[in-house]
Structure 1
Amino acid sequence: MSDNNHLVKLKIHSFPNRDFTGAETVFTVPVNPESFTKNYKVDLDERRGHGNNGTDVRFKSTAPEELRLEFILDGTGTMEGYLDALKTVPVHDQLQSFLNCVYNMDGNIHRPRFLLIIWGSEIRFRCVLSNLDINHTLFTPEGNPLRVKLNATFLNYVARQERLAQDRQSSPDLTHYRKVVQGDRLDNLTNTIYNDPVYVMQVAKVNGLSTIRRVKAGTELYFPPFDQTEK
């Protein structure tokens, strides 16, 4: 994670507004994680009818992407590559700065802040904190913490207005056009547009097709909006 031999630190930017604007605070991770994990999950309906051996797995939704980071806050001043500005800062204070950035409630918005995590070319992640494990691993003789290991999970966050705009682009309430390629089936195309193949006969009718079984490659099909409450 370097640019022209300059070490780039992972940074967490926090904002009060859902669109990632407003008064910004930044937490710079003192020593970069050795690795990070991204998790993608597809939510499927796997219910089986009574007496059925197989399962007709149906797509329900995609769950928000997760990003998991593991890194260390150190108060010994001995770790190689540690952020110089924090080498003499007690680990308790470093931890408090991190919590203020990602976890503690912002009194102006009555919730934790919205986060943008940036590191190199692989991570630019808009999110909120969903889980945090804090493991104290090293102490002074008096019992004061000297090193803390953090395991943080962040959940992808998309502002409502942006999410609605994205959904609208592929909405079955809009008119769609598709050019048939070899191997396309009308029922599959209909299911892709409307999330249900039940409209296949209506699509065939509005396109003047005499059959739904074979549609010539290169044919441009028109998929109008249908009232999905009237199937």
Structure 2
Amino acid sequence: MANPFDLISSVVPDAGFFLKIIPVNDDGNVISGEPFVLQYNPQSFSIKEELDFEQPQEQGKPGNDPQYKGIKPREFTIEFTIDSSGLFTSLRIPVIEHVRLFRSLTTIPKSKDHRPQRLIVQYGTFLSSCNLVSSEITYTLFDREGIPLRAKVKAGFQETKDNELNQAARQFSSPDVTHQYTVELLDE
């Protein structure tokens, strides 16, 4: 498999390390169209990893050691702000348009099986093939006519399990890569 970060760069050139949400089809190929690229760094980014254990218990006996079943798909939450007030940048794309693009890519069913699109989420060195599982949009600043100028978004995602992209991205955090070894010259 090619370097997953090259894939992102080819779809969103010159976007640096900003958060990117890119729709992909069931085969993992990028769908043509505009990806969602965040204007600023997120306020928070959290990753939840959960192991799955089974608790076998016979009636009338104390609990047994839990039996390991596997690893559940990772879940992660990103909180970010969309701003069109002009305070931080001269680029003033309306908040409503940003939200419309976000929803179009993440929540509106478009595939033949009537489900929202699968996604690639990339922020810095974090890269994941996933699905959106929840989003909450809070409008926090308005102009005189009541048009939103700023919105806070809290989006929850769940990784798709055993995907080639996720396997390739995890190689960057492999214990083989992160171990440090000290080699000392032997005294003779």
Task: Assess same fold via TM > 0.5.
Answer: yes
Partner secondary structure for residue 54 of structure 1: coil
Q: In structure 1, which of residues 5, 21, 43 is the aligned counterpart of residue 29 of structure 2? A: 21
- Unpaired runs of 5+ residues, structure 2, are 1-14, 165-188
Q: In structure 1, which of residues 49, 58, 65 is the aligned counterpart of residue 58 of structure 2? A: 49
- C-alpha deviations, 1:192-217, integer Å up to 9, x for none? xxxxxxxxxxxxxxxxxxxxxxxxxx
Using the TM superposition, name which of 105-114 and 27-36 deviates more: 105-114
Q: In structure 2, which of residues 71, 75, 78 is the aligned counterpart of residue 66 of structure 1? A: 75
Deviation at 1:53? 2.8
Amino acid paired to 1:14: P
Question: 2:132 maps to what in 1?
Answer: 129
Is the contact between residue 13 and residue 24 of structure 1 (CA under 8 Å) also seen in structure 2?
no
Question: 1:223 maps to what in 2?
Answer: none
Instruction: Write the distance in 1 (CA, Å) between the matches of 2:160 and 2:63.
Output: 36
Instruction: Write the distance in 1 (CA, Å) between the matches of 2:21 and 2:30.
Output: 15
Q: Whose RCO is larger (CA < 8 A, sep 6+)?
A: 2
Question: 1:145 maps to what in 2?
Answer: 148
Instruction: Write the distance in 2 (CA, Å) between the matches of 1:49 and 1:109.
Output: 43
Scaled by the length of structure 1, the TM-score of the pair is: 0.58
- C-alpha deviations, 1:12-38, integer Å up to 9, x for none? 1112x2221153331101112133111
- Unpaired runs of 5+ residues, structure 1, are 1-5, 163-231
Instruction: Write the distance in 1 (CA, Å) between the matches of 2:43 and 2:136.
Output: 17
Q: Does 1:97 align with 2:91?
A: no
Question: 1:157 maps to what in 2?
Answer: 160
4+ residue stretches of structure 1 with deviation over 4 A? Answer: none
Q: Structure 1 vs Structure 2: percent identity of aligned residues?
A: 30
Deviation at 1:7? 5.1
Distance change in 2, residues 1:159/1:103 (3 Å): farther
Question: 2:122 maps to what in 1?
Answer: 118
- C-alpha deviations, 1:104-124, integer Å up to 9, x for none? 111555221111112222x11
Partner secondary structure for residue 52 of structure 1: coil
Partner secondary structure for residue 60 of structure 1: strand
Partner secondary structure for residue 96 of structure 2: helix
Partner secondary structure for residue 101 of structure 2: helix
Amino acid paired to 1:75: S
Deviation at 1:97? 0.8
Distance change in 2, residues 1:159/1:100 (3 Å): farther
Is the contact between residue 48 and residue 56 of structure 1 (CA under 8 Å) also seen in structure 2?
no
The alignment's C-alpha RMSD in Å is: 2.3
